Amino acid sequence: MASTYVVGRVGDIPDGEHRVVDVNGRGVGIYNVGGTFYGLLDRCPHMGAKLCDGVVADALRSDGPGDYQLDPGRRFVICPWHGWEFDVATGESWFDARRTRVKSYDVAVACGADLAAEVEAGGRVKGPHQAERVEISTEDDYIVVTLPR
């Protein structure tokens, strides 16, 4: 059975901003992205940093050198300790430290659908961690957090 908690009014967190609230002893980051609210546990799954203290930025897409576009509808929180990036909407990590130390090239036969999915992600490769998401809803101008028991 899940428990629900009213944590504030919709107007308390303007578009593009976030706030950390205490929900039953747990820090929960509430993010407003274009009027849709998302919740992440305020703990980086990599090493336990306060994830919500990190910078929040628009997703950056690139189809090649010198080609960069910002996607303001997709936001990432960047861990303040090691720079790992997490999609605010999904909690998915988009940084893999193992790929930043040594330049290496994998060679494999791949499914075309997998390659197309990578192109849609702007050349990003999913990392090995996922931030814990928290269910957020709005009811009569109030932001409501739902936590599993």
Domain ranges of the chain: 2-141
The whole-number pLDDT of residue 129 equals: 84
Q: Which residue has the higher pLDDT, 99 or 4?
A: 4
Instruction: Provide the mean pLDDT of the chain.
Output: 81
Percent helix, strand and coil across the chain, each to the nearest 5: 15, 45, 40
Structure tokens at 120: 């849609």
Most confident of 8-17, 106-115, 124-133: 8-17
In sequence order, what DSSP letters do the residues of 55-111 get, joined into one string? EEEEEEEEEETTEEEEEEEEEEEE-TTT--EEETTT-BB---THHHHS---------
At residue 46, φ and ψ (nearest 5 deg) are -75, -60
| DSSP bridge partners of 142 | 9, 139
Q: Compute the distance between CA of residue 98 and CA of residue 16 in angstroms, rounded to an integer.
A: 31
Share of the chain above pLDDT 70, in %: 79
Q: Compute the distance between CA of residue 50 and CA of residue 93 in angstroms, rounded to an integer.
A: 15
Q: Please check the confidence at residue 116 and state whether its pLDDT lies above 70.
A: no
To which H or E segment does residue 116 belong? helix 112-120
Fold that domain 2-141 belongs to in CATH: Rieske Iron-sulfur Protein (2.102.10)
The whole-number pLDDT of residue 97 equals: 58
The whole-number pLDDT of residue 109 equals: 47
Question: In angstroms, what CA-CA distances link 34 with 38, 73, 74, 141?
Answer: 11, 7, 9, 15
pTM, full prediction: 0.67
Which residues are within 8 A (CB) of 79 and not within 5 positions of it... i.e. 6 or more apart? 44, 46, 49, 51, 54, 85, 86
